Structure 1
Amino acid sequence: MAKRRIEIMDTTLRDGEQTSGVSFSASEKLTIAKLLLEELKIDRIEIASARVSEGEFQAVKNVTNWATQNNYIDAVEVLTFVDKGVSIQWMIKAGAKVQNLLTKGSLNHLIHQLKKTSNQHFKEIEEVINQAKEHDIETNVYLEDWSNGMRNSKDYVFEFLEFLSAQPVKRIMLPDTLGVLTPRESFEFILEIRSKYPQLHFDFHAHNDYDMSVSNVMEAIKAGADGIHLTLNGMGERAGNAPLASVIAVINDFLPDIKVNVNEKSLYTVSKLVETFSGFMIPANKPIVGANVFTQTAGIHADGDNKKNLYFNDLMPERFGRKRKYALGKSSGKANIQKNLQELGLQLNDEDLKKVTERIIELGDKKQVVTKEDLPYIISDVLDRTYEEKVKVNSYVLTHSKGLRPSTTVALTINGEAHEQNAQGDGQFDAFMNAIREIYKKTHLTTLPELIDYAVRIPPGSHSDALCETIITWKNSEKEFKTRGLDSDQTVSAIKATEKMLNIITN
């Protein structure tokens, strides 16, 4: 049995741009339009509202020029209005060939916004449709507030559909404008309309106000919808529209009789580009495209993935051009760490792996995310401890106040004997070193080596909470040597490097 094909119309550049604070430049619109049609293989795109601004006009013109040259012009749509042909003239100048005419799909909107009768509204719509036809512009019709129309003024909706069935209209678009439908209503309303008008093409346009847009789209397709409207990252007014990536995954995995043309593998890269252009950040837990959705945190899950993929579902990251990650932190087990080590091409014996695991858990209590890029630094820090721990820095107080010299109070144990000292310096670490020197001067244990180099590194791509590795080069009468310290605080990482030095030199 042949699969039923559903049209996907992406309205990121029109409805998605109505996200608060989002405005794409003309060049960004053109780039996104190209990616939607050529990379993602979207069937149709709605790119703008007519009559908005001169900048919007130029953006549309750029897209239509490109689309005409590359045979996509019939897939480029513009929202228009019942305005005695003003929108049609705008479209002609912009080079657009498909209008999505906004009309009133509920009696409430008709009476209270337009203050007209249904016959008056229908007559004006017919005039716009005929004007479009005269200029070879194809017409689709939006029934704004259709969902409330079906709930509260169904007779009006069917009167409207009866009128449209006799018009030269290609598609009738049924929007849940306020995002109020339940999945059951979505199914029942569209099935009722589909049954009465089997020859007409119906699109369903979902909003996400109750977080039911994906479910509503799924039910609309089951009921016989011919097309669905989606946006990248679920962008749109208020709570946004039905998200493209989630809906495509649902169709491919749960509706075996339905076919769509969308290229899943490019969903993530295009979504990330739109995130950059729009400034509308993708939530980390957003299905398919969120930063965390293919990241296992619990060690038991990583262990299960090593044993017949016990914690995998059909949403394999490779489908979407992504990779599974294994988070490192206080919930990590050896399995998480082994997965990350494999990706880095590193191997550790069981004893060293245990030490590294303990260190990651310790760091995870301080720093929520420990990344794969942190791992070599942690390994270096842990495996560098080849000395007997004779010196332990038990506690310290670091102070830095404007107008006052930094100072440090240090408490440490040397060969089981406790010492405490306060000192000032040119910085917090300098004050710490001065305090240590005073302690060693008093104890006559040994002379501290000279600090000859101090280097700080953080893993690539890190942020302000990154792990910080401090590498200090010391010189005494015999040789030069280096010690490393690792912490999310730079001064603390230097103190840890110094603690290692003290253990190396102390007899």
Structure 2
Amino acid sequence: MKHFVSPFNQAVDLKFPEKITIYDTTLRDGEQTPGVCLRTAEKLKIARKLDELRIHQIEAGFPVVSNEEKRSVTTIANEGLDANILALCRTKKEDIDTALDCNVDGIITFLGTSALHLKHKLKVNQEDALNICMNAIEHAKDHGLFVAFSAEDATRTDLNFLKSVYKKAEVYGADRVHIADTVGAISPQGMDYLVRELKKEINIEIALHCHNDFGMALTNSVAGLLAGASAVSTTVNGIGERAGNTSLEELVMTLLLIYGVDMDFNIEVFYELSQMVEELTNMKVPENKPIVGRNVFRHESGIHVDAVIEEPLTYEPFLPELIGHQRQIVLGKHSGCRAVKAKLDECGIAVSKDELCKIVGKVKEKREEGKYINDKVFNEIVRSVRGPFEF
């Protein structure tokens, strides 16, 4: 695996959990992005690709939402994938029974625990909320399901109440509790403190469901893992409500290359998975999106291109082939002779040094006139300098 990240990373003594679980919620929270609606065939296609990645758990959907959603979750659950299939449920018996009908391996059941949610959304007090949650957990465990309980808006919940909810969830047999940073309102330092405080009180797995409203979902996830959490919720391309969720590809590659935590994922499928989700959700991946953005391995500046042609790791932390991506040299205002010559060599065109300089000059001129230097424009430039030729 050819990559080169900062050697100072290894100078810091950090301890991650021995086993980390990634549960991907592209098909649930990702689909809750306004305007996104995935049909059964589309969900199954993404689920298969996630399984090819060797993801640990797939949150396949929220089956009580509609008949089509229930059909989608059932289809994925019966596909024979290696990943465990989870369904989202409210803390309602009918939701859990619907999930059972889908033949899933487990559920994530949730209830808002912050004063904001209890007062303005649920209109119940803390004691009633506690009873509602435990009844749901008990019902699911009675039917042999893996049960994760998620405290919605956990990061804005009174700490003592949050501890009591999670402690009681453990007593009632929950397999995992989730810290939902529902509006991305916690800092990495706050996440570190919260997880460490909870670890003093409970002995079951803690998971992190981070939103990216302040651009800190990835950092908060890493901070939580270092504090003792051992599971993280992700979405492909970081999609999801509002600013989205922790990006699957960013988290996995950060853990692998920056922190040296190898979870044995088949990372070669990342770019293909990213493009698939982009196409099926009609949510364009930003050009500068970390890891899978189209610009991550595109180079135009002459200084950069010269170095990249000699040794790609001068301006890339890892080679694009590692995730199924590819490098692209872009011609434009900042291009130098070496970049243009590389393009000419690619086309099998030999030119003199004087012709090369003229072509470089014309490339810069055309780009500054507003033209994108695609193959057609480059063809025209070369013809104008050296006459007709065959590409």
The equivalent position to 1:99 in structure 2, one of 91, 102, 107, is 107
Bigger strand share: 1
What's 2:87 paired with? 78
The equivalent position to 1:89 in structure 2, one of 93, 97, 119, is 97
Matched, 1:124 2:137: no
Deviates more, 1:376-385 or 1:55-64: 376-385
SS class of match (1:335) = helix
1:2 deviation in Å?
A: 10
What's 2:63 paired with? 50
What's 1:419 paired with? none
- For residue 193 of structure 1, what is the amino acid of its counterpart? L
Could you tell me which runs of 5 or more consecutive residues in structure 2 were left unpaired when the two chains were aligned.
1-14
Matched, 1:196 2:201: yes
Partners of 1:318 and 1:348 lie apart in 2 by 31
Question: CA contact under 8 A between 2:31 and 2:240: conserved in structure 1?
Answer: yes
Question: CA contact under 8 A between 1:234 and 1:244: conserved in structure 2?
Answer: yes
The equivalent position to 1:4 in structure 2, one of 15, 18, 23, is 18
- For residue 301 of structure 1, what is the amino acid of its counterpart? H
Q: 1:2 to 1:146 in 2, by over 3 A?
A: closer
Partners of 2:244 and 2:89 lie apart in 1 by 21
Partners of 1:367 and 1:5 lie apart in 2 by 52
Partners of 1:381 and 1:8 lie apart in 2 by 55
SS class of match (1:13) = helix
CA shift digits 1:22-60 (9 cap, x unpaired): 0011100011011111x2111111111131011111111
Partners of 1:195 and 1:371 lie apart in 2 by 60
Question: CA contact under 8 A between 1:91 and 1:97: conserved in structure 2?
Answer: no
1:269 deviation in Å?
A: 0.7
CA shift digits 1:264-289 (9 cap, x unpaired): 21111111011111100011111111
CA shift digits 1:60-91 (9 cap, x unpaired): 12112213xx454xx111110112x1012211
Question: CA contact under 8 A between 2:312 and 2:319: conserved in structure 1?
Answer: no
Higher radius of gyration, 1 or 2:
1
What's 2:242 paired with? 238
Q: Which has the higher contact order (CA 8 A, sep 6+)?
A: 2
Alignment of 1:98-497 (within 5 A): 98-149=106-157, 153-197=158-202, 199-256=203-260, 258-309=261-312, 311-371=314-374, 374-384=377-387
Aligned residues: 376
CA shift digits 1:476-496 (9 cap, x unpaired): xxxxxxxxxxxxxxxxxxxxx
1:7 deviation in Å?
A: 0.8
SS class of match (2:325) = coil
CA shift digits 1:336-379 (9 cap, x unpaired): 21333344444433122112212211221223531357544532
Partners of 1:167 and 1:373 lie apart in 2 by 67
Question: CA contact under 8 A between 1:190 and 1:220: conserved in structure 2?
Answer: yes
1:333 deviation in Å?
A: 0.8
Bigger helix share: 2
Deviates more, 1:115-124 or 1:204-213: 115-124
Q: Percent identity?
A: 28
1:187 deviation in Å?
A: 1.6
Partners of 1:267 and 1:294 lie apart in 2 by 14
Q: 1:358 to 1:71 in 2, by over 3 A?
A: closer
Q: 1:232 to 1:297 in 2, by over 3 A?
A: same
1:321 deviation in Å?
A: 1.2
SS class of match (1:259) = coil
Q: Which runs of 4+ in 1 moved over 4 A?
A: 307-310
The equivalent position to 2:74 in structure 1, one of 50, 53, 61, is 61
Partners of 1:308 and 1:65 lie apart in 2 by 47
SS class of match (1:20) = coil
- For residue 330 of structure 1, what is the amino acid of its counterpart? K
Question: CA contact under 8 A between 2:64 and 2:95: conserved in structure 1?
Answer: yes
Partners of 2:213 and 2:195 lie apart in 1 by 20
Question: CA contact under 8 A between 2:39 and 2:72: conserved in structure 1?
Answer: yes
- For residue 126 of structure 2, what is the amino acid of its counterpart? S
CA shift digits 1:247-304 (9 cap, x unpaired): 1121112222x33232221111111011111100011111111111111111111122
Question: CA contact under 8 A between 1:107 and 1:156: conserved in structure 2?
Answer: no
Partners of 2:32 and 2:18 lie apart in 1 by 32
Q: 1:193 to 1:134 in 2, by over 3 A?
A: closer
Deviates more, 1:200-209 or 1:125-134: 125-134
Partners of 1:97 and 1:15 lie apart in 2 by 18
What's 1:17 paired with? 31
- For residue 158 of structure 1, what is the amino acid of its counterpart? K
Partners of 1:8 and 1:376 lie apart in 2 by 48
1:110 deviation in Å?
A: 2.4
CA shift digits 1:96-154 (9 cap, x unpaired): 231100123323322433232333222222222222223222211111000111xxx11
CA shift digits 1:170-226 (9 cap, x unpaired): 1111110011111211222112222433x3101101101011111111211111110
Q: 1:71 to 1:324 in 2, by over 3 A?
A: closer
CA RMSD of superposed structures (Å): 2.3
